[in-house]
């Protein structure tokens, strides 16, 4: 594994190897065009690989005859596509010169291969030691405009993933204006591919959409200043026959939390181009002489074992090489958040009573949500005034926290640091700190504006208030929320030439704030949130090991939300809670045990008022917390396999998590709709050891704590039989019923 460089007949070749894949890059012609050669199953050598660039298709290559240079440029499989010089497909870059031209052609200058991986200044990025990662940096240049680009590729010894990024450097005397810079470009022959993207809206994030890729361009993007509920910075390219267990799957994911674009294009020659990066719309960046611009990181995965193989590679990459939190390999505390239990109507006594009841049932942390600060009695005021409201918390924050700690519980707190209410002391003092366009009535959402956190004085002021609160008491957890997108994007301090930088500068400012928060409180458990799941992206995982998956806590709605999320993110990153019924978002009634089973597939917690639960439900809470402690290691660390999709069959859902040593497995099954006169379902399991035998047991929440939560069915099956023939799931009485089957090696 690692990176190999070779020269053959004047062509330079680079082979990047992960455990099971190879990625080959070629430098061709005297001009040094950087071409994409191959990405797929691992190959042992590069003998003859240069022919894959199809140089033999071009009798008029620029080296031999420039008569049809445009024909060459328009179909050469490039590593980073040019702009305005004959490649009429989507370009990777667009830079405006002093003279007003925007054409760019980057060609090879030099390269460096080294062990390890550099961080990206101001941006989240994967990481690894010199034993875990090898990096190739290819330096290209457009001498005509004085632009240098460093294309970086890092391969991992333990994961089938490649991390890519690009840095632009102005080597000329005049300034340049960057209008477009993609993080990655991938050219290959179109094999009648299909694509998967993740779409949704508030409370129904990351639903999977699979469709054919036709001629022309297909894209998903965000111009909201955040990732957004609507689209994910991810795209998978698949063969038509690709399933969960077989077929080629290419994934491309952007580690960024702002405006993005993911695009696939099929051209006249049946070539497919896939790329990702910062959304070019309304983006520009001024590069003075000697300055550089660092683009976000793109994360590529190839699997020959279908979507499941792709998912597990992303899961491993994020668990081992992206999440930094001290909690990443630990069980998270079972928490109760008071939001749906009280909304703004709470005081110290009510919160303490909830905590007291929850502690008796096995809950480990109370999280105080919105409404604890300033004049915050509803969502129309006080954002930005991060001072404890002692009318609600009579003894102050420390008094409440100390009482909660005395119950044996930790304490967490909610902030929305990037926002400000028009009715707030902060806005009255600093109206220019809000993002706005002079002379235009700014748009409100949830009756709030967005602070311009690209400005250092704004970041310092907000963090100073947060730090005072967090230092005042024993606070172990912060929920960092963002409840509206950006609009009316304008900064009071950027000049006219740099206004196009604001959206990206905003994201960099937010990243800096979270980095400083974690430096000040290194043991803090940070959970990101944005009106639910509008900021669920790899960039945020670099700062927080878990993200609130969706404001929709309905167990049935969560099946598709959590399936789409788990396609690329580990289960350990998905904030998942049990809430009351009728559900506050959709009004559905589902059994309490079903709500628990679905939430146990994430970080697990509660979103309700424990004092209002029935005695029967309280007994289930005790059992759920016991289940979490007994089985969370498998959920958090194990390999994920999708068995059946409710989003596809509209009847039931099933997935499996297998421990790394293959000795234990949990199979989650939800019967959404019962059917009359139907046989039981037999579903083929995955990921087990074929030569092992497994005892089949079932988890149950029935009865009190004197009864076991694991019941042995007395059945034993061979792993090979379970995977090739299947395991039976009997029909349960009623809709919205669920069970968890536990397999343990004999």
Catalytic residues: 481, 551
Q: Are 59 and 44 in contact (CB under 8 A)?
A: no
Q: Are 102 and 95 in contact (CB under 8 A)?
A: yes
Q: Is 85 exposed, middle or buried (0-12, 13-18, 19+ CB in 10 A)?
A: middle
Per-residue burial over 601-634, b = 16 or more CB atoms within 10 Å of its CB, e = otherwise: bbbbbbbbbbeebeeebbbbbbbbbebbeebbeb
The whole-angstrom separation of Cα 27 and Cα 7 is 9
169: which 2 tokens? 């450097």
The whole-angstrom separation of Cα 417 and Cα 503 is 17
The whole-angstrom separation of Cα 535 and Cα 57 is 45
Q: Which residues contact 295 (CB under 8 A, 6 or more apart)?
A: 165, 166, 167, 168, 181, 182, 183, 277, 278
The whole-angstrom separation of Cα 98 and Cα 578 is 58
Q: Which helix (H) or strand (E) holds 196?
A: strand 194-199
CA torsion, ordered 507, 510, 516, 522, to nearest 10 deg: -100
The number of C-alpha atoms within 13 Å of 543 and in the hemisphere containing its C-beta is 31
Q: Are 507 and 453 in contact (CB under 8 A)?
A: no
* DSSP code per residue over 211-271: EE--SEEEEEEE-SSS--SSB-SEEEEE-TT--SSSB-EEEEEEE-SSSEEEEEEE-TTSE
Peptide bond into 528 cis (omega under 30): no
* DSSP code per residue over 539-597: HHHTT-SEEE--S---HHHHHHHHHHHHTTS-GGGEE-EEE-SS-TTT-----HHHHHH
Q: Are 255 and 297 in contact (CB under 8 A)?
A: yes
- Phi (first) and psi of residue 582, to 5 degrees: -60, 140
Q: Is 58 exposed, middle or buried (0-12, 13-18, 19+ CB in 10 A)?
A: buried
Q: Return the closest-CA partner of residue 183 out of 305, 267, 81, 316.
A: 81
Q: Which residues contact 608 (CB under 8 A, 6 or more apart)?
A: 336, 340, 341, 578, 579, 580
Q: Which residues contact 424 (CB under 8 A, 6 or more apart)?
A: 374, 375, 381, 382, 383, 384, 385
Q: Are 686 and 308 in contact (CB under 8 A)?
A: yes
Helix 397-406 to helix 348-360 angle, to the nearest 10 degrees?
Answer: 20
Q: Return the closest-CA partner of residue 537 out of 222, 71, 274, 269.
A: 222
First and final C-alpha spacing in the chain: 36
The whole-angstrom separation of Cα 320 and Cα 159 is 9
């Amino acid at each position: 594994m690692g990176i190999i460089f070779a020269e053959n007949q004047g062509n330079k070749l680079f082979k990047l190897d992960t455990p099971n894949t190879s990625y080959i890059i070629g430098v061709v012609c005297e001009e040094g065009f950087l071409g994409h050669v191959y990405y797929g199953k691992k190959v042992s050598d590069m003998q003859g690989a240069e022919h894959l660039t199809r140089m033999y298709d071009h009798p008029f290559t620029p080296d031999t005859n420039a008569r049809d240079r445009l024909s060459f440029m328009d179909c050469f499989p490039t590593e980073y596509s040019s702009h305005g010089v004959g490649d009429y497909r989507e370009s990777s870059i667009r830079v405006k010169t002093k003279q007003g031209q925007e054409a760019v052609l980057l060609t090879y200058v030099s390269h460096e291969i080294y062990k390890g991986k550099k961080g990206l200044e101001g941006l989240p990025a994967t990481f690894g030691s010199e034993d875990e990662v090898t990096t190739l940096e290819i330096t290209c240049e457009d001498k005509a405009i004085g632009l240098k680009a460093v294309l970086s590729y890092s391969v991992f010894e333990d994961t089938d993933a490649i991390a890519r990024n690009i840095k632009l450097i102005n080597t000329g005397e005049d300034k340049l204006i960057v209008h477009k810079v993609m993080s990655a470009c991938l050219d290959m022959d179109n094999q009648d591919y299909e694509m998967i993207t993740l779409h949704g809206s508030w409370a129904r994030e990351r639903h999977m959409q699979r469709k054919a890729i036709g001629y022309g361009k297909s894209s998903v993007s965000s111009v909201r200043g955040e990732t957004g509920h609507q689209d994910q910075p991810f795209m998978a390219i698949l063969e038509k026959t690709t399933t969960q267990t077989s077929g080629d799957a290419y994934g491309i994911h952007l580690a960024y939390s702002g405006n993005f674009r993911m695009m696939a294009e099929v051209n006249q020659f049946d070539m497919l181009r896939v790329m990702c990066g910062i959304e070019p719309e309304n983006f520009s960046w001024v590069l003075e002489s000697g300055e550089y611009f660092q683009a976000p990181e793109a994360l590529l995965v190839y699997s020959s074992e279908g979507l499941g193989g792709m998912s597990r590679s992303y899961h491993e990459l994020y668990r081992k090489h992206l999440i930094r939190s001290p909690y990443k390999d630990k069980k998270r505390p079972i928490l109760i958040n008071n939001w749906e239990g009280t909304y703004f109507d709470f005081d110290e006594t009510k919160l303490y009573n909830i905590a007291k009841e929850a502690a008796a049932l096995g809950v480990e942390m109370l999280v105080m949500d919105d409404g604890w600060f300033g004049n915050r009695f509803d969502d129309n005021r006080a954002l930005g005034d991060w001072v404890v409201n002692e009318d609600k918390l009579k003894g102050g924050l420390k008094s409440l926290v100390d009482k909660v700690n005395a119950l044996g519980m930790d304490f967490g707190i909610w902030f929305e640091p990037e926002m400000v209410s028009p009715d707030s002391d902060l806005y009255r003092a600093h109206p220019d700190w809000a993002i706005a366009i002079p002379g235009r009535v700014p748009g409100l959402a949830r009756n709030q504006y967005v602070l311009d956190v690209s400005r250092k004085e704004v970041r310092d002021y907000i963090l100073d208030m947060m730090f005072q609160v967090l230092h005042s008491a024993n606070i172990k957890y912060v929920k960092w929320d963002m409840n509206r997108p950006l609009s009316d994007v304008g900064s009071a301090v950027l000049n006219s030439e740099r206004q196009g930088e604001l959206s990206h500068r905003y994201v960099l400012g937010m990243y800096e704030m979270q980095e400083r928060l974690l430096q000040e409180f290194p043991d803090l458990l940070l959970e990101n949130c944005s009106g639910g799941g509008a900021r669920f992206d790899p960039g945020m995982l670099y700062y927080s090991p878990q993200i609130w998956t969706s404001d929709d806590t309905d167990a049935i709605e969560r099946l598709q939300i959590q399936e789409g999320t788990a396609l690329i993110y580990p289960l350990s990153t998905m904030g998942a809670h049990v809430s009351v019924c009728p559900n506050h978002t959709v009004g559905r009634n589902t059994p309490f045990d079903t709500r628990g089973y679905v939430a146990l597939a994430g970080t697990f917690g509660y979103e309700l008022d424990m004092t209002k639960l029935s005695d029967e439900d309280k007994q289930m809470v005790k059992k759920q917390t016991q289940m979490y402690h007994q089985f969370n290691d498998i959920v958090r660390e194990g390999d994920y396999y999708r068995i059946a999709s409710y989003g596809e069959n509209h009847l039931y859902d099933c997935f499996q998590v297998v421990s790394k040593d293959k000795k234990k497995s949990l199979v989650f099954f939800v019967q959404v709709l019962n059917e009359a006169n139907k046989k039981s379902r037999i579903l083929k399991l995955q990921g087990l050891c074929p030569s092992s035998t497994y005892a089949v047991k079932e988890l149950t929440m029935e009865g009190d704590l004197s009864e076991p939560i694991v019941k042995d069915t007395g059945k034993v099956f061979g792993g090979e039989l379970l995977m090739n023939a299947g395991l039976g799931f009997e029909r349960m009485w009623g809709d919205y019923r669920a069970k968890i089957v536990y397999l343990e090696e004999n």
